[in-house]
Amino acid sequence: MRLRLRVWRQQNARAKGRFVEYDLPDASPDMSLLEALDVVNEQLTLRGEEPIAFDHDCREGICGSCGLMIDGVPHGPRRATSACQLHARAFKDGDSITVEPFRARAFPVIKDLIVDRSALDRIIQAGGFISVTTGSAPEANAVAVPKQAAELAMDAAACIGCGACVAACPNASAMLFVAAKVSHLGLLSQGQPERAERAVKMVAQMDREGFGACTNHGECETVCPKRIRLEFIARLNRDYLRSAFAARPASDGEVGGG
Amino acid sequence: MELNANTPAGPLETKWQRHRFDLKLVSPSNKRKYEILVVGSGLAGASAAASLAELGYGVGCFCYQDSPRRAHSIAAQGGINAAKNYQNDGDSVFRLFYDTIKGGDFRAREANVYRLAEVSLAIIDQCVAQGVPFAREYGGALANRSFGGAQVSRTFYARGQTGQQLLLGAYQALSRQVALGKLRMYPRHEMLELIVSDGRARGIVTRDLVTGRVDSHLADAVVLATGGYGNAFHLTTYAKGANATAIWRAYKQGAAFANPCFTQIHPTCIPVHGDYQSKLTLMSESLRNDGRVWVPLRAGDPRAPRDIPPAERDYYLERLYPSYGNLAPRDISSRAAKRVCDEGRGVGPAGRGVYLDFAEAKVRLGMTKLKEMYGNLFEMYERITDEDPYEVPMRIYPAMHYTMGGLWVDYNLMSTLPGLFVLGEANFSDHGANRLGASALMQGLADGYFIVPYTLGHYLAGMPRDSIKADHPAVRAAEAAVAKRTASLLALRGRRTVDSFHRELGRLLWEHCGMARSEASLTSALAKIPGLREEFWQDALVPGSGEELNQSLERAGRVADFLELGELICLDALERRESCGAHFREEHQDAEGESRRDDTRFCHVAAWEYTGAGRAPRRHEEPLVFERASLTTRSYK
């Protein structure tokens, strides 16, 4: 099949970008979109031009590296599918496909299709964990976790941190990303001690990074390659609100030992 | 070069316990004076970095991905083994040890494997406490499933995303240390050289993949947890960026490389479908719990799978290995698939495929249960092949998946270079000639959470605390080597893309050093690789500059290393004139085509020493002594 790729090219963070068109006269329907970019890159290299820079790694939809706007939709037209799992067969012969980087204030472009998503790491660092030092864990079966809770936690934990939710949101909010982690840990017995402060700290970091607020558009849920559900945002809001009423000790600091 | 395994004395069961007591400690107030560099942020790297930072050491952690959460451990599907015996089915530390050593075809060190089985218990505790959402029973207890090479059910899992969940647990522990200011994370950094001074590893030279900036980082010890080298084969289940550069630099600086020919070919991957293809996708071994593997009885049978009646199908694993059936170990299942395809009974394009059929499981378990157990794997299959595995059998074929070989380490996980520790898939230590399913995650986390935090402290405590300066000749030399190499790669303005060389090397290794190897195939590969390498250095084409983000340059450096490493893989395969585990030499098989090990001549680890450019590497042997496991012929019949 014949495809035309309209790709965003931008030399670096400071440079101005533009679209460049590349023809793929004999693409295979079984080719993934990233493989189509590979083929273009091989041709560019042989012509002495610089290939298109794009993030990718596992190419099986789990590492979250690839994040592309495809025809204006993060990861493209197929629901619950990351860009690396999107195949040419999802398009029609002769189609022109527009490929751009994720656009958000918190995701500055580094080069071509590559953006800086380190803000998501900093949100996790702000509180997206359970504080348990290596060696201090109790026997694994000592605490029973209801199957339902474990399954729901797993639904939320499936987030691959690709940032599609941010790219799809009119406010460039990272609420679905934060909600997924807050829900995952908050649904488990092990995550209870830090539950309230986790929500507050992660949301505060999200704000500091320049992500917008959630105004319930629901675009994030539509584009999520892992089907993370909007209801987790409701869960995050509950935890956030509850933390306002949570009892806190007079001093958060450690009490000195004798 | 001396290979001293430093295995502690005493009975197998108490070695680690006693050793931990014998290990020297660094006092809490002194720990912060030490700096440790961890390269790689997968299960082994992230767990080590987090645990060492928790202890109080200064830690720097490096990864080439844009975030430590994306390391390729994330893609492990099936599960993690532990000898918890929650199923009351007769499991024990000793049984896990025995299954692992037997699964590795008696080519691993007994003491290491026993420790691995022992530590497996604490790993599950740790991960549960971190919030890893393992599968549960209705009563709230942890669930298990079966995996290849075992007759007990000891695999813990989180749907088909166990690696993802375990990695996120370790990543979160690491993130917590970053927030506490105890750990500095360097994403989008690639290690390009190891700094060695007075015979000790003292730091690394890295390239910032965004700016191209080259920096030296100095430390008291270096931990490599950079994964396997399977991408030398090009089309593999590895992540595209997975590479051998860090371990190859270390090898060239004096760390021995052990058993490079022990490379694992996974039996259940989606078959190759086109020349443009960039990677292969694994279908978890857990599918073999309920899926049945078969091919048509008759060669060249043109019928669709559903039109072939049961009597005209060959469920060859169940036929050949009745006691393990579809759960025969990976090496055995892979070879069996190759054999039926060689007989002309393979299915799909080019006849390189076998069926993995869930029709019977659908009836037995019902659609809901099947979906719950394997839903995401079925979906992944459907995405790639456009076929619905609930309705038609999957087509699968073996693919390069994991490397048991790696840098040689002693019982303390230290390489032959003092101060250089190697963890996870990057080392050679625990899986012998074949790794059992669900054991890679176990080993990565054992090394990182529960072994290196003890053994590294022992090394530091035994060394004078001196530091080397940034202008030390060893640092300058390492930086100069990186600059020279980068310049040579960027000077390549030939006619062939780097990828075309990678493809050619991969095909060569797959055909000559893949599932079946022989004196002739290996000699032929060894004759061809140097020529290909020479052509690379004359005719490859590397666009762009070094002072910016340049993915072509990154790939070129990695492929240049694979072109050297590929030769060592073949050389090791040639010198090991026996069949064991995943290493199958056609000259060494019995009448039924099963491997024939040679314990008189090859019951050892082969560790290769680099002797300089253009010179043949030197082969050393570490004899394997079995005190508890008896060297039997592996049988899964």
Q: What is the pLDDT of residue A252?
A: 55
Query: Pick the catalytic residue: B330, B335, B517, B533?
Result: B330
Residue of A nearest to B56 (CA): A133
**Contact across the interface for B65 and A65, Cβ inside 8 Å:** yes
Q: Please, which residues bridge with residue B208 across strands?
A: B189
The pairing of strands B420-422 and B221-224 is parallel
A and B: number of Cβ contacts within 8 A? 216
In a shared domain, residues B493 and B354: no
Output the pTM of the full model. Answer: 0.97
Q: What is the pLDDT of residue A251?
A: 61
Last residue of one domain, picked from the residues A82, A111, A140: A111
User: For the packed helices B43-55 and B162-179, what is the interaxial angle rounded to 10 degrees?
Assistant: 30
Residue B337 domain boundaries: 267-398
Residue A187 domain boundaries: 117-245
The whole-number average pLDDT for the span B147-157 is: 91
pLDDT digits (tens, 9 = 90+) for A10-39: 999 999 999 999 999 999 999 999 999 999
**Contact across the interface for A132 and B136, Cβ inside 8 Å:** no
Interface probe with A: pick from B85, B136, B180, B550, most Cβ of A within 10 Å: B136
* C-alpha to C-alpha distances, A114 to A65, A117, A168, nearest whole angstrom: 10, 9, 16
In a shared domain, residues B368 and B491: no
In a shared domain, residues A71 and A85: yes
E strand residue ranges, B177-261: 183-186, 189-197, 200-208, 214-218, 221-224, 257-258
**Hey, how many other C-beta atoms are within 10 angstroms of the C-beta on A3?**
23
Q: Is residue B452 part of a domain?
A: no
The pairing of strands B354-357 and B292-296 is antiparallel
For residue A92, the domain's CATH number is: 3.10.20.30
In a shared domain, residues B495 and B583: yes
Which residue in the set B74, B128, B168 is minimally distant from A157, CB to CB?
B168
Which residue in the set B66, B276, B552 is minimally distant from A31, CB to CB?
B276
Last residue of one domain, picked from the residues A72, A91, A111: A111
In a shared domain, residues A160 and A97: no
d(CA B424, CA B446): 8
**Contact across the interface for A28 and B276, Cβ inside 8 Å:** yes
Q: What is the pLDDT of residue B466?
A: 86
**Contact across the interface for B380 and A61, Cβ inside 8 Å:** yes
Which residue in the set A32, A62, A139 is minimally distant from B74, CB to CB?
A62
pLDDT digits (tens, 9 = 90+) for B387-441: 999 999 999 999 999 999 999 999 999 999 999 999 999 999 999 999 999 999 9
Residue A249 has pLDDT above 80, yes or no: no
Q: Is residue B343 part of a domain?
A: yes
Give the end-to-end CA distance of chain B in Å, rounded to a whole number.
42
In a shared domain, residues B486 and B611: yes
Q: What is the pLDDT of residue B135?
A: 96
Last residue of one domain, picked from the residues B398, B421, B447: B398
Q: Is residue B314 part of a domain?
A: yes
**Contact across the interface for B142 and A141, Cβ inside 8 Å:** yes
Q: How is residue B46 annotated by DSSP?
A: H
d(CA B383, CA B386): 6
Total domains in chain A come to 2
For residue B346, the domain's CATH number is: 3.90.700.10
Q: One-letter amino acid identity for B7?
A: T
Q: Is residue B35 part of a domain?
A: no
In a shared domain, residues A75 and A161: no
**Contact across the interface for A146 and B140, Cβ inside 8 Å:** yes
Q: Is residue B127 part of a domain?
A: no
pLDDT digits (tens, 9 = 90+) for B432-491: 999 999 999 999 999 999 999 999 999 999 999 888 999 999 999 999 999 999 999 999
Q: Chain A partners of B165 at a C-beta cutoff of 8 Å? A: 154, 157
Interface probe with B: pick from A43, A44, A129, most Cβ of B within 10 Å: A129
Provide ipTM, 2 decimals: 0.97
d(CA A7, CA A43): 15
Buried residues in B569-590 as b, exposed as e (16+ CB within 10 A): bbbbbbebebbbbbbbbeebee
In a shared domain, residues A51 and A158: no
**Contact across the interface for B453 and A134, Cβ inside 8 Å:** yes
Residue of A nearest to B128 (CA): A140
**Contact across the interface for A51 and B552, Cβ inside 8 Å:** yes
* C-alpha to C-alpha distances, B209 to B63, B194, B554, nearest whole angstrom: 10, 17, 8
In a shared domain, residues A103 and A182: no
Q: Is residue B521 part of a domain?
A: yes
Q: Is residue A258 part of a domain?
A: no
* Shortest distance, CA A89 to any CA of chain B (angstroms): 9
Which residue in the set A35, A110, A117 is minimally distant from B276, CB to CB?
A35
Which one, of B325, B346, B331, lies nearest residue B401 by Cα? B331
**Contact across the interface for A111 and B241, Cβ inside 8 Å:** no
Which one, of A88, A28, A66, A227, lies nearest residue B239 by Cα? A66
Q: Chain A partners of B173 at a C-beta cutoff of 8 Å? A: 129, 132, 134
Q: Is residue B55 part of a domain?
A: no
Q: Say whether B595 sits in a helix, a strand or coil.
A: strand
d(CA B413, CA B427): 8
- Establish whether B330 is a catalytic residue: yes
In a shared domain, residues B286 and B384: yes
Q: A229: pLDDT confidence band, cut at 50, 70 and 90?
A: very high
> Rounded to the nearest 5°, which phi and psi values hold at B540?
-75, 160
For residue B511, the domain's CATH number is: 1.20.58.100
Last residue of one domain, picked from the residues A94, A111, A128: A111
Q: A246: pLDDT confidence band, cut at 50, 70 and 90?
A: confident
Total domains in chain B come to 2
Q: Chain A partners of B83 at a C-beta cutoff of 8 Å? A: none
Q: One-letter amino acid identity for B252?
A: K
d(CA B37, CA B28): 19
Residue of A nearest to B54 (CA): A133
Q: Say whether B501 sits in a helix, a strand or coil.
A: helix
Interface probe with A: pick from B67, B268, B503, B553, most Cβ of A within 10 Å: B67
Residue A256 has pLDDT above 60, yes or no: no
Q: Is residue A254 part of a domain?
A: no
